[in-house]
Amino acid sequence: MDAINTHAPSVCIILVNYNTWEDTIECMESILKSNYSNFQIVVVENYSTNNSWEQLIKWCRGEAFPKVEASNPLFKYSNPPAIKPVMYLRANVEESDHLRLINTGGIKPILFIKSDENLGFAGGNNVGLRYAIFNSFDYMWLLNNDTVIESDTLKQLVDYGELHAKKKIGIIGSKLLLYHKPDTLQGMGAVFNKYSGKSKIIGAQQKDIGQFDNADVQCNYVIGAAMFVPRSFVLDVGVMSEDYFLYNEENDWASRAKRKGWSVGVAAKSKVYHKQGASTGNSPKKSKWQIKALHYKYRGKIKLYKKYYRPQLPFLYLHLLSRSATYLAKGNFSEAAVIYKAIFNTKF
């Protein structure tokens, strides 16, 4: 990491950890190789049921390391590991809201914030956002912990934000690539159809040959795995809605932003590699947790429509009933039941 330029915009990088400390360590190692240095990492430990908290602290002390095979094409982004020990602080959620960062002029310590309940995706990120606002960071980067970045990813985001500072671009996305297929796009953002309730992911599954690098990507919202926001945006629009717990939060934030005159954009040259699907899974037969995740997804979509697209709500119901019929035809009765429960607001 280069010497810190204290005149450069400050960035608070927010990671939320839930049971995946190995991913969080790999992500932090890649961040510490960044060629942009004026940042602080904040990890919100979201009430994991394993020993994540202890392992994260061990990593700071040099007693735990990222488990990445040398044959992995992304190995170079997290290895060799940063010199240990690394400075760190610990706090609980209540303390973090008013925890003042002491500016030493040097590298900022990693802050680990421990929650005594699972706050969900938005709730966990909001803990970091409130800390960042209290400490007057210029930008906040909500980054999934199951990601890896390149050395210039953060600089590309800051450069984009500064270049478009007067255009009220509130949420800036990155070029998301698949961790296990790093030459393939997860997507550049999403175009949302309020009549069908479907989102089309721009560039999904395409080979990355630079086709979007110089494009002005037009999207309704950016993919929630990496959202870069300026301080002025959060002060005006507010933190993320905690109505959803899982799924639809980024669409909600973008919809609320649009009402206040903000737009979204994509820094197409900032690359983020994402282990897509690791937490909810993509297998035909869903686990109990995956079924519950689907419930959050469909229930959240209905909430989104009731808040922002109420005139189109009947179209959403028709779409969901059609999807439920498809599940039934395939014998996926649990998935069909999830949709009915979401529509009729039955407790899951």
Using DSSP, state whether 41 is helix, strand or coil. Answer: strand
Cβ atoms of 11 and 142 within 8 Å: the answer is: no
Domain ranges for the chain, please list them.
Answer: 11-274, 288-343
Structure-token pair, residue 155: 């600089």
Using DSSP, state whether 85 is helix, strand or coil. Answer: coil
- Which DSSP symbol is given to 285? S
Q: Which CATH class is domain 11-274?
A: alpha beta
The pLDDT of residue 280 is 42
The pLDDT of residue 143 is 99
Structure-token pair, residue 145: 């912990």
CA 335 – CA 157 distance, rounded (Å): 38
| H runs (alpha helix) in 69-197 | 93-96, 120-134, 153-163
The pLDDT of residue 346 is 63
- Report the first-to-last Cα separation within the chain, whole angstroms: 47
Return all residues near 347 (Cβ < 8 A) that are at least 6 apart.
Answer: 341
CA 340 – CA 348 distance, rounded (Å): 11
Structure-token pair, residue 208: 């990355």
The pLDDT of residue 113 is 99
The DSSP line for 196-213 is: T--EEETTTT-B-SSTTT
Chain mean position to CA 103: 27
Give 3-state DSSP helix, strand, coil % of the chain, rounded to 5.
35, 20, 40
Q: What is the pLDDT along the chain (348 residues), one digit of tens a residue?
A: 555 666 899 999 999 999 999 999 999 999 999 999 999 999 999 999 999 999 999 999 999 988 899 999 999 999 999 999 999 999 999 999 999 987 666 789 999 999 999 999 999 999 999 999 999 999 999 999 999 999 999 999 999 999 999 999 999 999 999 999 999 999 999 999 999 999 999 999 999 999 999 999 999 999 999 999 999 999 999 999 999 999 999 999 999 999 999 999 999 999 999 998 544 444 445 688 889 899 999 999 999 999 999 999 999 999 999 999 999 999 999 999 999 999 988 665
CA 147 – CA 128 distance, rounded (Å): 18
